[in-house]
């Protein structure tokens, strides 16, 4: 378990409730005595508290951006992408495999886009779309799914509609298509330059089959 995972657990409702019950059992041992098995009682009370306490709600959206008049910088976006990657790793067992695969591809595409952020700032609409994908659309889709009980999210349908898993996959498909479209447009100039180089090399070094 990584340092961030330990920190999250220490601050979680489950740990706080479990610790409170464990301390209550320890206090009972001091005041009235619980017999020779008191250490086991303390541990059992902690586990009961950790099991019955509600899971903390996940919030992956970043707080207000303070730099550049509240406008996201490339560093802001890269930091948020790192948060989303850590969340994907930490919650891997709760995310469907189909979602994890799509999420990994989306994050890869967005990483590549942010790495060339200055090239995208000339296209204000696309830059805004990428910002919203990283700071709002993607984290909102993930956290809303993760904040549902897993069994409900995967198998339950309300009034015959799609499951939460179906909705998540559909949202990720839309985000993947858009992120790939913007990445392709961003690299179009490089691809055109590469094609020009290939054409130049063919003209300079290409030979006819009749050449000796």
Record the tokens describing residue 188, joined without a space.
């179009």
- pTM, full prediction: 0.67
Q: How many residues does the chain have?
A: 212
| 113-128 per-position pLDDT tens digit | 999 998 887 788 888 8
Task: Report if residue 212 sits inside a domain.
Answer: no
Instruction: Please give the tally of structural domains in the chain.
Output: 2
State the pLDDT at residue 210.
44
- The packing angle between helices 164-186 and 188-205, to 10°, is 50
| 179-197 per-position pLDDT tens digit | 999 898 888 877 677 777 7
Q: What is the DSSP letter of 68?
A: G
Task: Report if residue 102 sits inside a domain.
Answer: yes
Pair 55, 13: CB distance under 8 Å: yes
Q: Are residues 13 and 74 located together in one domain of the fold?
A: no
pLDDT at 148 exceeding the cut of 50:
yes
State the pLDDT at residue 160.
65
Q: Are residues 33 and 91 located together in one domain of the fold?
A: no
Task: Report if residue 115 sits inside a domain.
Answer: yes
Task: Report if residue 211 sits inside a domain.
Answer: no
Q: How far is CA 204 from CA 199, 201, 212, in A?
A: 9, 5, 16
Record the tokens describing residue 149, joined without a space.
């009980």
Q: Are residues 38 and 132 located together in one domain of the fold?
A: no
Distance (Å, rounded) from C-alpha 38 to C-alpha 29? 7
| 5-60 per-position pLDDT tens digit | 566 555 566 677 777 777 777 777 777 777 777 777 777 777 777 666 566 566 66
| 78-94 per-position pLDDT tens digit | 999 998 998 888 888 88
């Amino acid at each position: 378990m990584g340092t961030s995972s330990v920190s999250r657990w220490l601050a979680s409702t489950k740990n706080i409730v479990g610790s409170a019950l464990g301390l209550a059992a320890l206090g009972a041992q001091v005041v009235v005595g619980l017999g020779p098995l008191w250490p086991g009682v303390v541990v059992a009370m902690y586990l009961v508290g950790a099991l019955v306490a509600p899971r903390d709600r996940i919030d992956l959206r970043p707080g207000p951006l303070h730099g550049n008049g509240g406008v996201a910088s490339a560093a802001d976006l890269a930091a948020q992408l790192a948060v989303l990657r850590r969340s994907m790793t930490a919650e891997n067992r709760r995310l469907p495999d189909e979602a994890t695969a799509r999420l990994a591809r989306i994050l890869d595409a967005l990483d590549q886009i942010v790495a060339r952020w200055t090239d995208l700032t000339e296209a204000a609409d696309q830059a805004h779309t990428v910002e919203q994908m990283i700071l709002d659309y993607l984290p909102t889709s993930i956290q809303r799914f993760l904040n549902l009980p897993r069994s409900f999210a995967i198998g339950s349908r309300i009034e015959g509609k799609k499951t939460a898993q179906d909705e998540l996959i559909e949202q990720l498909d839309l985000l993947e298509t858009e992120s790939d479209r913007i990445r392709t447009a961003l690299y179009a100039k490089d691809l055109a330059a590469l094609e020009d180089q290939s054409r130049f090399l063919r003209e300079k070094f290409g030979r006819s089959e009749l050449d000796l």
